[in-house]
Structure 1
Amino acid sequence: MNYFSVVFCTILFSVTSSFSQEKIDKYVVGKGETVSQIAQKFKITPYEIYKLNPDAQNGLKPNSVLLIPKSNGKSNVTSSKTAKQQPKTHLVVAKETLFGIEKKYDITDEALKKANPDIEKYGLQVGQILNIPSKNTSKTSVVAKNVVVYHTVLPKETKYSIAKQYGMTIEELERKNPEIVANLAVGYELLIKGNGSKPVAKVVPAETKVVSEKHVAVSVPEPVNYIDYTVKPKETFYSLSKMFGLTQQQLIELNPALSAGVQEGMVLKVPSKSNQIASNSVKQKVVLTKKSSDIKKTLVLLLPFNIAKNGGDTISSNVNRLNNDKFLNMTLDFYSGALMAIDSAKQVGVVMDVKIFDSNEAKTTSSVASIFSDNNLANADAVVGPFYQSNVEKTASLFAQNNVPVISPLSKDTGNPMPNLYQSIVSTAVLKSAMFDFMNAKQGNVIAVIDKKKETIRKYILENQKEVKIAPLTATGGLDVESFKKLLVKDKINYVILETANTGMIKYTMNTMLGVMANYQVQLVILEPNETLDTDEISFENLTKLHLMYPSATRENTSPEAQLFMQSYRKKNKVNPSTFAIRGFDITFDTMMRLSQDKTYQETAETMITEQVENKFEYRKKEEGGYVNNGTYILYYDTDLTIKEAR
C-alpha cells in the first residue's frame, strides 16, 4: 500500500525570475535516494541543494521534486575562481562524524576546528553549517596525493573495518593486496593508495612520529599497555584526544566502532595513562563464523515435545494435537530453527555432538532429572532449554557442579540467581533502560506525555529518570498544549515519550508535535509495544514523519546472510520461518559458535557480543549470580517505510 502521495510544494511552482536567471532544473526524487547521492549525480554540493530546498533537511520523500542549480561554469563546482572567492560550507546531516567530513574534503582535524571554533565547545550538531577551509589555508596532510599510503593491520581489525575507514570496498582492498584474499594477518602492511613506487606514508601506531610529508622516522617502540575506558556523558572526540594524547584517526584505528561517532557507554581500547583511568571489562562485538578449536564439544537441547501427552500413536491423534496444541507448534518451530543452525554450523566446519531430548514439561514439572541421570550428561559443554523458568532453574542446579552453562531460550522471568544460568531473553527493564541511555547519550531533551492510566510508568520515570520532564495534563486528562510547548528546547532534539493507549490522546499529541516541527526537532518515542499505534485510526505517514522510535530485543535484518537463512528455511520447510523458528536458529547457532572457540562459553559471554539473524547476545554478569542478556536495538520508522536501527 502506498502511504505517501506525490508532494509538490508551493515553492516549486513559484520560482522567481532570479531562480530562472540561475538556470534551475527540477528533479524527481527516486525511492531511497539521499541528498548526498543527488548532489554527486549533478556534481554539486549538498549545501547548494539545501539552499534551494530548505525542507529537504527534514528528509526526502519518493516522487517529491527538488530544485537543482545547473552546472554552467559559474557554479562553485566548476569555477575555481569562484571557489577561491567564496568559502565552502557543509551542512551537517544525521550520522555524520568529524572524521567523515575531514576525509570528504581532505582537510586536517586541526584546520576544520580552527575554522569552526564551536566544534570543540559543543561538538558536532545535526543541521550545523560548517566552514570548510581550502586546502591552501590548511596544513598539508600527512597523507598527500603524491604519497603512497599503507595501513598496518592492528589486532581485531577486519577487511571490512579497514575498507570502511578509507572509504573503499573490500574488493578494492583485496585487489590492491591480493595476498590477503585468504587471510588478514596482524601487523601486515596493506597498500591503500598509490602503486608503491612513490615515497611511503604508513598509518602507524601512536608511538611512531611523522617527521615530514615524505619521510617517516620510526623509533623503537616501547611496550604499550592498553586499558579499557568507558565513554562518559558529553565526551567528544576532542576531549578523548586530549585525554589520551591521540589523534582522532588513531582513536578510530584502535576502535573502529568510533567511525560512527562517540556514544556514551562505548568501551574503548586506549593506552594506559599512569593508572589514572580505572580498567573495565571489555566487550568486543564479533562475528563468529569459523571455529578456532578442534576439540569436539557436546551440546544438549532439552525441548518440550511432550510426546507422552499423545492420546494414542495414531495419525488422527497426532493431527488433532498439531491442530490444537499451540505449545507443541511453538516447540516444533523452535526445533526446526535449531536443525537449521546445526546444519549451518557444519557448513563452517563445526562438528559437534548434539543430543536432543524431550523434556516432557509443564510449568512446574519435567523429566530433566531422569534425562540427566540416564544419559551421563554431567560433562556436557552447554545446555539449551527447557522452556519454563522453574524447569530451566532445576536443570541449572543439576549441571552446576561442573559449571555447565544452561541457556534459558524463551523465559522472560528474572529467575533465581544461579552461577551457570544464562537468561537469553532481554527483560522489559533492560529495554526501557536502553532507550533512556540512548536518549541521554544524544544529549536530548526528554519529555514524557503520560495519561492517568499509566501511573506505573510515571512512577518509574520519577524514581529512575529524574531529568525527564513530564508534560502537564488538562483537568479532563488531555495534553496541555501550551505547557507542553514551553518544555521544548530549540538547540536539542526533543524526544517525546508517549505512554497512552487512548487513540484521541495519541492523535492530539502527534498533531501537536507535527505543528511545532518547523521550529523544533521532535521525535516520538514509546517504551513498550503499543497496539493502538497499529490501528487504521493512527496515520502511518505521521508516525514516519515523527520517526517513531522504540527499544527492541530483535531487529529486521535484510543482510545477505539473513536472506540466505530465509531462503534455505523456506526451501526446507515450505513456509516462512516464524519468530520461534528464528529464535531456535539464533540461540542454537550462537551457542555452537561460542563453544567452537578457544575459550569456555563463560569466557565468550564475558568478552564477546554477537548478533545472529534477529537477536543480539550481550551477556552481563549479575552481582547475585548468573548472566542476563542486554542485547538491545533502538529502532525507528523511516520515511521510506522501513524500520531502521538508530545510531
Structure 2
Amino acid sequence: MYFCPHKILFYMKHIKSFFVLLASWSMYATATWAQTPFFTHTVEAGETVYSISKIYHVTTEDIYKLNPETRNGLRSGTTLKIPQNKADQKFSRFHTIAKGETLFQLTQLYHVSAEDICLANPGLTASNFKAGEVIVIPPSNGKEAEVQKATDDKGTLSVLNSGCKEMHRVKRKETIFSISQKYGLTTEQLIEANPEMKDPDYKLKKGSLVCIPYPEKKTVKKTPSNQELFPQKSGPEKMQQITMGVLLPLTQQNSEGEKMIEFYQGLLLAVEDLKNMGTSVTVYTYDCGKSIADMKAVLTRPGLSKADVIFGPLSSAQIPTLGNFCRENKIKMVVPFSSQCDEVYKNPYLYVSNVPKSALFEETYKLLQDQFSNRHFVIWNSGEQREDDLTFINGLKRMLNAHAIPFREVSAGSSSLQDYLSLGRKNIIVPNSASLKALNKLCSELNLFKVTNPEYQFSLLGHPEWQIYTNSQLENFFRFDTYIYSSFYKNMNKVACGPFENRFEKDFHTELQNTFPSFGMLGYDLGRFFLMGLANKGNDFDSNISTWRTDPLQNDFYFKRASNWSGFINNKAELIHYTPQKKIDVIEFTKK
C-alpha cells in the first residue's frame, strides 16, 4: 500500500494538533476544577437539599452536580460535597473541621483571629469544635489570632508586691491565654501566680485584678488549646427587666385578625406570669400590616431598637426586613407562624417556632423506628393524595426499607385486606391521605374488617390534620388504637388547661376560638418559653436553649441551630396515642 508523503505530513500535523487541543482541554478542566473547591457536609435529620443550599448560599443544582445520588432523596449521616460560593461577598469561605484540627491552627491557616471566628459562628463552642462540623471563616483582617502582642497598657496597675510585678485589671473578652501573651508569660506561670485560677469553677470576670509575676529569663511558647481561645463565660445572669416587642397585623377585620388578637392575648397572659414571678416586662405593640413598607414604617417607632425579644411577623414577606433590624440591634426575633423561612439560615438572631414539614417528617420517622421496629406496616392508598402526604409516605417507605421493617401497600376497597396484613405481627395501617373523606372511607372498611377478622391486630397511624376531626372521630381513634404524629397537641385533660381557659375568658371577656392549633395557647406557651428563658438564663439563653423546658399547654419547643452561624429551628415531634382503654398518651422520641 502506498502513502503519499504530503498526506502523511498532513495527518501528522492534525494528530499533533489534536493532542495539543486535548492537553489544553485537560489543563482547562483541571484549572476550572481547582477554581471551584468543595467542602463536606454531613446530613442531619430533617435537612433537605433545599435547606442545605440555603445554609451555604449555593443552588440545589450545584449540590446535585457534585452529589447526583441526592436526586433520589437524602439520608441522615450521608456526607455531601458542597461547592464554595466565591461570589458571596458576605463570607470568605466555609471550612469542615478535620480530625485533630484546633482553633489555633485555623487562625494560622486563614490569618483570622480566634475572636473573629467565634463571632462569625455564635453556635461554635469548645465542646462542639469537632471533626465534621462546618464553620464559616470570615475575611482575613491581617491579625494572627490570639498570638498578637497587645500594646495598650491602660487599666494596668503597678503595685509594690514581692510576688507581683504589677496588677492587671481584666477587660471584656480577655482570656487567661491572652493576658499571659500580653505580658510574655506562659499560662502556667500566670496560673501559678494566681492560685485561685486552679479552681475548676474559676471564671475571669471583667474588672477583677490579676497578679502579673516577674517573667523568668526563658519562657516557652505553648500552643493554646481550644478551651483557652474560646471566650470564657461567667455564667448566666438573670434578667430582672425584659423589653418585648410584638409586631403583628392586629387590626384586620376578619378571621385571621381574630387569630392574631388571640395569639397576642396569650402573650399578655405569659407576661402577667413573669410579673407575678418578680420580673418586670415592658411591652411595645404595633400593628405592622402585611407589606414591607408597613414594616419599615413601624421599625422607626419608639422602643423597638432596645427590645430584648420581638414576636412577629405574620407575613413571610416582612421577615427579611424585620430580621435585618433585629440583627443590627442584636434582638431575638421569634417567628411564630411561618415554617418556610430562608432568613433563618443566615441570621443567628432568628427563632422559627413552627416546625418545618421536612423536620417533622424526619423526627416522626425516628419515633416510628424507635417505637415500632417490630411491627408490620400497611400503606393504604385512598386514591387521593396531596403533595405533603406524598412526601411523607415516600420518606416512610425509605425509612422502612433502610431498617428492614416489613411493609405492603393495598388499595382502598380491596376485598382481601387480610392478604396484606400479618398474623404474626401487630400491624400499623397508614393512609396515604390526611383528608376527612379518606379517613371516613378507611374507618368504614376497618369497622367491617374488625368484625369479620378479629384475629388480626392493628393500629392506625394518622396525620396532624386528624386532630381537627377529633369531635366526630374520637370513638374511631380509640377503637383502632390510633397514633397521630404532630408537632403539638392541645390536651384538654391536662390540669392546667381548664384554669387557663377560665382565666382567658375572665381577662378578655371571650372564649378561646375552636381552632387548630389554639392561637391563645400558642401565644402563651411561646411567650413563657422565651420570657422565662431570658429571665432565668439571660445572655446565656442560647447556650441553654436545647435543654430549656417549660410546662406547655399545647406547644413544646426543641430549638436547634441550623448551622453554627444560623438561627434556630424548632424540631419538636410527638405521637399522640388514643388507646382502646380511652386514654390519650403523648410519646416523644428518646435517644438510646
TM-score normalised by the chain length of structure 1: 0.47
Aligned twin of 1:434: 363
Report SS of the residue matched to 1:597: helix
* Residues 487-498 of structure 1 mapped to structure 2, 5 A cutoff: 487=422, 489-490=424-425, 493-498=426-431
Shift in CA distance, 293/533, structure 1 to aligned 2, threshold 3 Å? closer
CA distance in 2, matches of 1:483, 1:405: 55
Aligned twin of 2:382: 451
Contact 2:248-2:286 at 8 Å conserved across structures: yes
* Residues 631-642 of structure 1 mapped to structure 2, 5 A cutoff: 631-639=572-580, 641-642=582-583
- 1:525 Cα deviation after fit: 0.8
Shift in CA distance, 376/541, structure 1 to aligned 2, threshold 3 Å? closer
CA distance in 2, matches of 1:531, 1:547: 15
Alignment-mate amino acid for residue 628 of structure 1: I
Contact 1:548-1:637 at 8 Å conserved across structures: yes
Aligned twin of 2:321: 394
Q: Is 1:575 aligned with 2:510?
A: yes
- 1:424 Cα deviation after fit: 0.7
CA distance in 2, matches of 1:591, 1:471: 44
Aligned twin of 2:524: 585
- 1:370 Cα deviation after fit: 3.1
Contact 2:249-2:314 at 8 Å conserved across structures: yes
For residues 274-302 of structure 1, the C-alpha deviation after alignment (integer angstroms, 9 at most, x for no partner) is xxxxxxxxxxxxxxxxx971442211111
- 1:628 Cα deviation after fit: 1.1
Contact 1:473-1:480 at 8 Å conserved across structures: no
Aligned twin of 1:58: none
How many residue pairs get matched? Answer: 335
CA distance in 1, matches of 2:556, 2:431: 26
Contact 1:426-1:630 at 8 Å conserved across structures: yes
- 1:530 Cα deviation after fit: 4.2
Aligned twin of 1:553: 487
Q: CA RMSD in A?
A: 3.3
Alignment-mate amino acid for residue 481 of structure 2: H
- 1:596 Cα deviation after fit: 0.3
Amino-acid identity (%): 15
Q: Is 1:471 aligned with 2:405?
A: no
Aligned twin of 2:147: none
Report SS of the residue matched to 2:310: strand
CA distance in 2, matches of 1:449, 1:591: 41
- 1:615 Cα deviation after fit: 0.8
Aligned twin of 1:123: none
In structure 2, runs of 5+ residues without a counterpart are: 1-198, 202-235
Contact 2:367-2:574 at 8 Å conserved across structures: no
Q: Is 1:298 aligned with 2:223?
A: no
For residues 241-263 of structure 1, the C-alpha deviation after alignment (integer angstroms, 9 at most, x for no partner) is xxxxxxxxxxxxxxxxxxxxxxx
* Residues 287-436 of structure 1 mapped to structure 2, 5 A cutoff: 293-306=238-251, 321=253, 325-359=254-288, 361-362=289-290, 364-375=291-302, 377-416=304-343, 417=345, 418-436=347-365
CA distance in 1, matches of 2:569, 2:543: 14
Alignment-mate amino acid for residue 355 of structure 2: V
Q: Is 1:614 aligned with 2:554?
A: yes
* Residues 505-584 of structure 1 mapped to structure 2, 5 A cutoff: 505-509=442-446, 511-512=448-449, 518=455, 520=457, 522-530=458-466, 540-555=474-489, 556-578=491-513, 579-584=518-523
* Residues 59-458 of structure 1 mapped to structure 2, 5 A cutoff: 293-306=238-251, 321=253, 325-359=254-288, 361-362=289-290, 364-375=291-302, 377-416=304-343, 417=345, 418-442=347-371, 443-447=373-377, 448-454=379-385, 455-458=390-393
Report SS of the residue matched to 2:577: strand
Alignment-mate amino acid for residue 380 of structure 2: V
Contact 1:550-1:635 at 8 Å conserved across structures: yes
- 1:472 Cα deviation after fit: 3.5
For residues 133-192 of structure 1, the C-alpha deviation after alignment (integer angstroms, 9 at most, x for no partner) is xxxxxxxxxxxxxxxxxxxxxxxxxxxxxxxxxxxxxxxxxxxxxxxxxxxxxxxxxxxx
CA distance in 1, matches of 2:415, 2:392: 17
Contact 2:423-2:456 at 8 Å conserved across structures: no
In structure 1, which of residues 597, 601, 604 is the aligned counterpart of residue 536 of structure 2? 597
In structure 1, runs of 5+ residues without a counterpart are: 1-222, 226-290, 310-320
Q: Is 1:504 aligned with 2:441?
A: yes
Alignment-mate amino acid for residue 390 of structure 1: A
- 1:356 Cα deviation after fit: 1.5
Who wins on radius of gyration, i.e. which is larger? 2
Report SS of the residue matched to 1:383: strand
- 1:378 Cα deviation after fit: 3.2
CA distance in 1, matches of 2:451, 2:341: 39
For residues 208-245 of structure 1, the C-alpha deviation after alignment (integer angstroms, 9 at most, x for no partner) is xxxxxxxxxxxxxxx999xxxxxxxxxxxxxxxxxxxx
Alignment-mate amino acid for residue 552 of structure 1: S
Alignment-mate amino acid for residue 301 of structure 1: V
CA distance in 2, matches of 1:430, 1:446: 24
CA distance in 1, matches of 2:243, 2:273: 17
CA distance in 1, matches of 2:451, 2:469: 16
Contact 1:471-1:483 at 8 Å conserved across structures: no
Shift in CA distance, 293/458, structure 1 to aligned 2, threshold 3 Å? closer
Report which structure shows greater RCO (CA 8 Å, sep ≥6). Answer: 2
CA distance in 1, matches of 2:569, 2:358: 12
CA distance in 2, matches of 1:299, 1:627: 19
